[in-house]
Structure 1
Amino acid sequence: MSDAIRFEDKVVIVTGAGGGLGRAHALLFARHGARVVVNDLGGTANGQGANASAANLVVAQIREAGGTAVASHDSVTAGDRIVEQALDTFGRVDVLVNNAGILRDKTFHKMDDADWDQVYQVHVQGAYKLTHAAWPHLREQNFGRVIFTSSTSGIYGNFGQSNYAMAKLGLYGLTRTLALEGRRHNILVNAIAPTGGTRMTEGLMSPEVFALLKPELVSPVVVYLGSEQCQDTGDLYEVGGGWVGKVRWERSLGVGFDPHQGMSVDAIAKEWANIGNFEDAVHPRDNVEALEQMMVNLKKY
Structure 2
Amino acid sequence: MMLEGKVAVVTGSGGGVGREIAIHMALAGAKVIINDIGASLSGEGQSATPAQQTKQIIEQRGGQAEISTDSVASWDSAGKIVQSALDHFGRIDIVVNNAGILRDQIFHRMSPEEWDSVIGVHLNGSFYMSRHAATHFRKQESGAYVHITSTSGLIGNFGQANYSAAKLGIVALSKSIALDMKRYNVRSNCLAPFAWSRMTSSIPAETPEQKARVEKIMRMGPEKNAPLAVFLASDAAREVSGQVFGPRMNELFLFSQSRPIRSIHSADGWTPEKIAEIALPALRPSFMPLDRSGEVLSWDPV
Report the Cα offset of residue 9 of structure 1. 1.0
In the alignment, is residue 8 of structure 1 matched against residue 28 of structure 2? no
Percent identical residues: 37
**Structure 1 residues 208 and 161 mapped into 2: Cα distance closer, same or farther (>3 Å)?**
closer
* Corresponding letter in the other structure for 1:7: L
Q: Report the alpha carbon displacement of residue 277 of structure 1 after superposing the two structures with TM.
A: 4.7
Is 1:53 matched with 2:25? Answer: no
Which sits farther off after the overlay, 196-205 or 6-15? Answer: 196-205
- SS of the equivalent of 1:170 reads helix
Larger radius of gyration: 1
Task: Pick from 235, 238, 246 the counterpart of residue 243 of structure 2.
Answer: 235
**SS of structure 1 residue aligned to 2:187:** strand
Residue aligning to 1:72: 68
Local SS of the residue matching 1:37: strand
Q: 1:49-92 CA distances to partner (integer Å, 9 max, x unpaired)?
A: 11101001111111111100001111112210000111011000
Distance 2:284 2:234 in 1: 40
Choose the corresponding residue for 1:263, options 262, 267, 270: 270
User: Using the alignment, how far apart are the partners of 1:213 and 1:146 within structure 2?
Assistant: 24
Match of 1:297 in 2: none
Are the equivalent residues in 2 in contact too, given 1:179–1:187 (CA < 8 A)?
yes
Structure 1, residues 115-135: CA drift from partner, whole Å, max 9, x if none?
A: 111001100111111111110
RMSD (CA atoms)? 1.5
Match of 1:43 among 36, 39, 53: 39
Per the alignment, residue 261 of structure 2 pairs with 252
The secondary structure found in structure 2 opposite 1:218 is helix
What SS does structure 1 have at the residue aligned with 2:44? coil
5 Å matches for 1:35-184? 35-77=31-73, 78-184=77-183
Alpha-carbon distance in 2 for matches of 1:87, 1:31: 20
Q: Which residue of 2 aligns with 1:209?
A: 216
Residues 236-290 of structure 1 show CA distances to partners (whole Å, capped at 9, x for unaligned) of: 11222222111113432310122xx3211122112213234559xxxxxxxxxxx
- Please tell me the residue identity of whatever aligns with 2:119: Y
| Match for residue 226 of structure 1 among 222, 230, 233 | 233
The answer to whether structure 1 residue 272 and structure 2 residue 289 are counterparts is no
Q: With the length of structure 2 as denominator, give the TM-score of the two structures.
A: 0.87
Distance 2:62 2:246 in 1: 31
Q: Structure 1 92/71 Cα, relative in aligned 2: closer, same or farther at 3 Å?
A: same
Flag the structure with more relative contact order, 1 or 2, with Cα contacts below 8 A and sequence separation at least 6: 2
Matched to 1:217, the amino acid is K
Provide the rounded CA distance (Å) in 1 between the counterparts of 2:144 and 2:21.
Answer: 14
Moved more, 141-150 or 205-214: 205-214
* Structure 2: gaps of 5 or more residues: 204-210, 288-302
In structure 1, C-alpha distance between the alignment counterparts of 2:151 and 2:19, rounded to whole Å? 21
User: 2: CA distance between counterparts of 1:196 and 1:166?
Assistant: 20
Residues 202, 210 of structure 1: 8 Å contact kept: no
Report the Cα offset of residue 34 of structure 1. Answer: 0.3
Structure 1 position 203, deviation (Å): 5.5
Unaligned runs of 5+ in 1: 280-301
